[in-house]
C-alpha cells in the first residue's frame, strides 16, 4: 500500500456559509457510499475544511481512485503522505523520502509550496520551501526549480499532522448528491438521456428514472440496455430506482386514433404525464429529459412547448443547447456511449411517422388527443399500477 491517506478537495461547497457543514456531511456520506464498492476499509474524516480518507487495510489504488473520481462535490484527489509533527530535520527527511518514492525520474522542474496552519511551528513557510527545495536539488543533481511551469509541485501542509503530496487528480466536481432534492429522469436507450441524468445529478440532485417499454415491439434487450445505462449513471449518482412502464396499449391507441404525423408528440405528452405522476408519488420535484433544440421533429421549440404544457413540474433539459457531438463527447467521458449505441430499438423508433409535424399547434394536438378520451384514462391507470421497479 503506497499511500495511507488521501486528501480530498472541494470547491463550491466551501461557499455555503452557515449551511456549509450540511454540504460537507453530505459529501462525506457520498464518499463513504462510493468506497463501499471497493475492497478495503477506510475512515473518512473532516478536519478544518479538509476531508481525509485514511486506509485502514490493504486496497487497490486504481480502484479507489476510480471510485473517488465519481463522487460529485470532490474537485481533487491527492494521494499523500501524512505524519505527525516532528522535529525539523526529521520532517525534511520524511518529505525527501516521499518525493523520491513519487518521482524516480531524475530530470524535472519542481516547485515547493508550503502552507502552515499551525503557526507555532518554529519554521515559516518560506523557510520550509527553501530548505525542502534545497534537499531535493541536492538529491537530484539534474533537476531544477521551475516556479512558472513545474513538472510537479511538492505541496506541504503543516497542521496537527503534516500532509505532503505531489499528485493532484481531477475530481468530478459539482455538488454532493442529496443536497438538492430528487428528480425523475426520462431514460431511453439513447445517447442523450443518460448524459442529461448525469448532468443534473452532478448538481447534487438524486435521481429516479422511468423507461417506457413497448413489448413486443421493443425487445427485452432494449430494456436491458436501459437497465445497464441506469447502472452506469448510478456509479456517479448512487442507486437509481428505475420504473419500467408498459406503454404498448397507449402507443397502439395513439397509433389507431390520432393523425400519424402527430404520433411522436402525443406519445411524448403521455410519457410526460405518466412521468409526472410517478414523480409526484415518489417525492421527485422535477423531470429531466435528454432533449436538445432542433435535434429531431419532436424537439423543435414548437414541439417542446407542446410537450411542456402537459405537466406542472419543471422539466430540466440540461443538454438543450448542446450539439449532438458535444453530447457524444460527454457520454464517452462518463462511459455510457458504448451501451447507448447498441442497436436495440426503443419505442420512439418503431412508431415514428414518415413526416412528423415540426410545428405542432397545441390546439390541434389537444383536439387530436380528445379522440383517445374513451380509453386513455384507464390505460394510463393500468400502466402506472403495473409499474415494474428495478433498482439499478
Please give the biggest Cα pair distance in the chain. 87
Residue 315 CB coordination number (10 Å): 20
CB of residue 258 to Mg ion, shortest distance in Å:
20
Residue 296, interface with ligand ATP (CB under 6 A)? yes
**Which of Mg ion, ligand ATP, none does residue 298 bind to, with CB < 5 to 8 Å depending on kind?**
ligand ATP
Among 24, 157, 192, 228, binds ligand ATP (CB under 6 A): 192
Which of 10-18, 45-53, 69-77, 184-192 is the region at the interface with ligand ATP (rule: CB under 6 A)? 184-192
**Which of ligand ATP, Mg ion, none does residue 296 bind to, with CB < 5 to 8 Å depending on kind?**
ligand ATP
Q: What is the CA radius of gyration of the chain?
A: 27
Decide whether 176 or 290 has the Cβ nearer to Mg ion. Answer: 290
Residue 190, interface with ligand ATP (CB under 6 A)? yes
Decide whether 24 or 346 has the Cβ nearer to ligand ATP. Answer: 346
Among 131, 208, 276, 346, binds ligand ATP (CB under 6 A): 346
**Which of Mg ion, ligand ATP, none does residue 279 bind to, with CB < 5 to 8 Å depending on kind?**
none
Residue 188, interface with ligand ATP (CB under 6 A)? yes
Helices of type H across the chain: 20-35, 61-68, 88-102, 125-139, 192-201, 220-237, 248-257, 263-281, 301-308, 324-334, 337-340, 347-350, 362-369, 373-385
CB of residue 210 to ligand ATP, shortest distance in Å:
6
List of residues 6+ apart from 232 with CB closer than 8 A: 194, 334, 335, 336, 339
Among 80, 187, 201, 234, binds ligand ATP (CB under 6 A): 187
Binding mask 161-190 for Mg ion (x = CB under 5 A): ---------------------------x-x
Decide whether 179 or 264 has the Cβ nearer to ligand ATP. Answer: 264
Strand-pair category, 169-170 with 76-84: antiparallel
User: What 8-state DSSP symbol labels residue 189?
Assistant: S
Of 97, 85, 72, 92, which is closest to residue 2 (Cα–Cα)?
97
Residue 211, interface with ligand ATP (CB under 6 A)? yes
Closest residue to bound Mg ion by CB: 190
Of 13, 23, 36, 8, which is closest to residue 235 (Cα–Cα)?
36
Q: How far apart are CA 342 and CA 325, in angstroms?
A: 17
Residue 212, interface with ligand ATP (CB under 6 A)? yes
* Three-class SS state of 269: helix
CB of residue 290 to Mg ion, shortest distance in Å:
7
CB of residue 348 to ligand ATP, shortest distance in Å:
4
Residue 321 CB coordination number (10 Å): 9
CB of residue 249 to ligand ATP, shortest distance in Å:
15
Distances (CA, A) of 328 to 211, 259, 318, 332: 21, 33, 14, 6
Residue 304, interface with ligand ATP (CB under 6 A)? no
Binding mask 81-100 for Mg ion (x = CB under 5 A): --------------------
Calculate helix-pair angle for 362-369, 301-308, nearest 10 degrees: 50
CB of residue 371 to ligand ATP, shortest distance in Å:
22
Closest residue to bound ligand ATP by CB: 190
Residues of this chain, 272-291, that bind ligand ATP according to CB under 6 A: 289-291
Give the DSSP per-residue string, 274-329. HHHHHHHHTT---EE----TTSSGGGSHHHHHHHHTT-SS-EE-TTTT--HHHHHH
List of residues 6+ apart from 8 with CB closer than 8 A: 31, 50, 51, 52, 53, 68, 71, 74, 76, 77, 78, 171
Name the residues that contact Mg ion, by CB under 5 A.
188, 190
Name the residues that contact ligand ATP, by CB under 6 A.
186-188, 190-193, 210-212, 271, 289-291, 295-296, 298-299, 346-348
Amino acid at each position: 500500500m503506497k499511500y495511507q491517506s488521501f486528501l480530498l478537495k472541494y470547491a463550491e461547497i466551501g461557499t455555503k456559509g452557515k449551511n456549509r457543514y450540511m454540504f460537507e456531511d453530505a459529501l462525506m456520506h457520498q464518499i463513504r457510499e462510493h468506497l463501499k464498492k471497493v475492497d478495503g476499509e477506510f475512515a473518512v474524516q473532516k478536519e478544518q475544511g479538509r476531508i481525509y480518507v485514511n486506509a485502514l487495510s490493504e486496497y487497490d489504488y486504481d480502484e479507489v481512485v476510480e471510485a473517488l473520481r465519481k463522487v460529485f462535490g470532490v474537485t481533487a484527489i491527492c494521494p499523500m503522505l501524512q505524519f505527525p509533527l516532528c522535529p525539523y530535520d526529521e520532517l525534511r527527511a520524511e518529505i525527501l523520502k516521499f518525493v523520491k518514492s513519487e518521482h524516480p525520474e531524475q530530470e524535472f522542474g519542481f516547485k515547493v509550496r508550503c502552507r502552515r496552519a499551525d503557526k507555532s511551528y518554529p519554521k515559516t513557510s518560506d523557510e520550509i520551501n527553501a530548505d525542502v527545495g534545497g534537499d531535493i536539488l541536492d538529491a537530484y543533481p539534474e533537476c531544477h526549480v521551475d516556479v512558472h511551469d513545474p513538472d510537479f509541485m511538492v505541496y506541504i501542509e503543516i497542521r496537527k499532522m503534516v500532509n505532503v503530496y505531489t499528485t493532484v487528480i481531477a475530481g468530478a466536481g459539482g455538488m454532493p448528491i442529496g443536497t438538492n432534492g430528487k428528480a425523475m429522469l426520462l431514460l431511453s436507450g439513447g445517447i442523450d438521456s443518460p448524459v442529461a441524468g448525469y448532468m443534473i445529478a452532478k448538481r447534487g440532485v438524486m435521481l429516479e428514472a422511468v423507461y417506457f417499454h413497448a413489448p413486443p415491439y421493443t425487445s427485452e434487450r432494449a430494456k436491458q440496455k436501459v437497465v445497464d445505462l441506469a447502472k452506469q449513471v448510478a456509479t456517479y449518482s448512487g442507486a437509481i430506482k428505475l420504473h419500467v412502464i408498459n406503454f404498448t396499449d397507449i402507443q397502439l391507441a395513439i397509433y389507431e386514433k390520432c393523425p400519424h404525423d402527430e404520433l411522436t408528440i402525443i406519445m411524448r405528452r403521455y410519457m410526460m404525464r405518466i412521468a409526472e405522476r410517478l414523480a409526484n408519488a415518489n417525492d421527485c420535484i422535477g423531470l429531466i429529459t435528454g432533449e436538445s433544440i432542433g435535434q429531431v421533429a419532436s424537439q423543435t421549440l414548437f414541439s417542446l412547448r407542446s410537450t411542456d404544457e402537459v405537466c406542472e413540474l419543471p422539466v430540466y433539459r440540461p443538454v438543450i443547447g448542446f450539439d449532438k457531438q458535444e453530447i457524444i463527447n460527454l457520454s464517452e467521458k462518463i462511459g455510457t456511449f458504448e451501451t447507448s449505441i447498441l442497436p436495440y430499438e426503443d419505442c420512439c423508433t418503431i412508431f415514428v411517422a414518415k413526416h412528423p409535424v415540426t410545428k405542432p399547434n397545441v390546439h390541434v394536438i389537444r383536439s387530436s388527443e380528445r379522440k383517445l378520451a374513451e380509453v386513455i384514462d384507464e390505460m394510463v391507470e393500468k400502466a402506472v399500477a403495473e409499474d415494474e421497479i428495478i433498482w439499478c
